[in-house]
Copies of this chain bind each other. A is one copy, B any other.
Amino acid sequence: MTDVPLPPGSTIGILGGGQLGRMLSAAASRLGLKTHIYNDTPDAPAFHVAAKGSVGDYDDLDAVASFARQVDAVTCEFENVPAAALEAAGAEAPVFPPVKSFEVAQDRLTEKDFVSALGIAVAPYAAIDTLADLKESILRVPPPCLLKTRRFGYDGKGQARIHTLCEAESAWESIGEAPAILEGMVAFERELSVVTVRGRDGTVRFYDVVENVHKDGILDTSAVPAKIPSALETEAQAIAGKIAEALGHVGVLTVEMFQTGGDKPGLTVNEIAPRVHNSGHWTQDACLVSQFENHVRAICGWPLGDVARHSDAVMTNLIGSEADDWRRYAAEPGTAVHLYGKAEARPGRKMGHINRISPKT
């Protein structure tokens, strides 16, 4: 790891060409940096705003290595990059975030073990490798609970809810009998997240805590400020900082949490994402330096940018055909429209988002 920052004119390689890669590319352009996108399909949104693009499978290690040789640093827009691809890229160029962040975030069991070992509260959980494990664990993690595959789950995919013991078998089948964890459902007041950024020199900065609402397992809205006491905000940021530090993370790290406990509020960590995150999209329009630009600054060894919030904001995702209303949203005062350039608006697909800002309260 070097202390010399990548100067303007350098090229960042991004594994993944979706909307996060697209917005990372646009942010990099503000800093005079070029991007080179690597994606497994040719029609990805990020190719439209990149200096260069390569199409290849993530398992094609020669292609990944060739891509990495052409850039000055490599980063990822999604956490499920195969370990072998990260290794192939890392042999040719520095890769940020570090491999450890991916190892932990790719596996729900490793993640839970890692977070709870730091003394941070997580939901009750158990490792499930067989149907027998599941039946036995339901006694310790009582329903209602969630069975989740350890790997490759996102936006509610790879999950089954269990209300009674007799649903165990069908739940096990529905997730494909893959290695899983059984998670107790947390009774929560609010869903929160902390978008944090850690530089190559270990400097950490936190955006304001976000209050999230999910709909059908997909993020619907993210609002700042969250309606929480300031002591809880400080605690949430401290938790995120502890995790970032323990990972030796470099770049943006997002920690999703539940606010629990009614009058005596507490925090339970739900999930970590070693990357820019949907719940940080409001930073594009309510902060001077967005999560995307700060991720780029961090991985390039630049000074981190100002995370102060100049406005209140509510981000709303546009899912599937909701993006067809772009013209109406574009006409709304105080509203910024962000569309991802995806050709096909399939149900459940994230097509864009809007940020509604208002004067800071």
Interface residues, chain A, with chain B CB atoms under 8 Å away: 5, 7-9, 22, 25-26, 29-35, 47-51, 285, 288-289, 297, 302-303, 305-306, 308, 310-311, 323, 326-327, 330-331, 333-343, 352, 355, 357, 359
A49 touches B32 (CB 8 A): no
Residues of B within 8 Å of A289, CB to CB, are: 336
With contact pairs A8-B341, A29-B341, A49-B26 given, residues A306 and B334 touching in the complex (Cβ less than 8 Å): yes
From B25, B51, B288, B311, A47 is in contact (CB under 8 Å) with B51
Q: How far is the CB of A335 from chain B (nearest CB, A)?
A: 7
Residue among A33, A326, A338 with max Cβ neighbours from chain B (10 Å): A326
Residue among A9, A288, A335, A340 with max Cβ neighbours from chain B (10 Å): A288
Q: How far is the CB of A170 from chain B (nearest CB, A)?
A: 40
A335 touches B310 (CB 8 A): no
B9 touches A34 (CB 8 A): no
A303 touches B288 (CB 8 A): no
Residues of B within 8 Å of A288, CB to CB, are: 285, 334-336, 355, 357
**Alpha-carbon separation in the docked complex, A32 to B7 (Å):** 29
Residues of B within 8 Å of A297, CB to CB, are: 330
Q: How far is the CB of A228 from chain B (nearest CB, A)?
A: 23
Chain B residue at minimal CB-CB distance from A333: B306
Residues of B within 8 Å of A339, CB to CB, are: 8, 30-32
With contact pairs A303-B331, A305-B330 given, residues A29 and B49 touching in the complex (Cβ less than 8 Å): yes
With contact pairs A32-B341, A32-B352 given, residues A8 and B334 touching in the complex (Cβ less than 8 Å): no
**Alpha-carbon separation in the docked complex, A31 to B352 (Å):** 9
A9 touches B343 (CB 8 A): yes
A305 touches B336 (CB 8 A): yes
Q: How far is the CB of A23 from chain B (nearest CB, A)?
A: 8
Q: How far is the CB of A308 from chain B (nearest CB, A)?
A: 8
A31 touches B310 (CB 8 A): no
**Alpha-carbon separation in the docked complex, A297 to B330 (Å):** 9
From B26, B51, B334, A26 is in contact (CB under 8 Å) with B26
5 closest Cβ contacts across the A-B interface? Answer: A32-B339, A303-B331, A48-B51, A32-B341, A29-B49
B341 touches A9 (CB 8 A): yes
A330 touches B310 (CB 8 A): no
Chain B residue at minimal CB-CB distance from A303: B331
A330 touches B357 (CB 8 A): no
**Alpha-carbon separation in the docked complex, A255 to B198 (Å):** 43
A338 touches B47 (CB 8 A): no
From B48, B305, B334, B343, A29 is in contact (CB under 8 Å) with B48
Chain B residue at minimal CB-CB distance from A339: B32
A22 touches B29 (CB 8 A): yes
Given A9-B343, A285-B288, list of 6 further CB < 8 A pairs?
A: A8-B341, A31-B337, A47-B51, A48-B51, A288-B336, A302-B330
Residues of B within 8 Å of A306, CB to CB, are: 333-335
**Alpha-carbon separation in the docked complex, A50 to B25 (Å):** 11
B327 touches A302 (CB 8 A): yes
**Alpha-carbon separation in the docked complex, A9 to B345 (Å):** 12
With contact pairs A330-B297, A330-B305, A331-B303 given, residues A34 and B336 touching in the complex (Cβ less than 8 Å): no
A310 touches B26 (CB 8 A): no
Q: How far is the CB of A207 from chain B (nearest CB, A)?
A: 15
B357 touches A310 (CB 8 A): yes
Residues of B within 8 Å of A340, CB to CB, are: 32
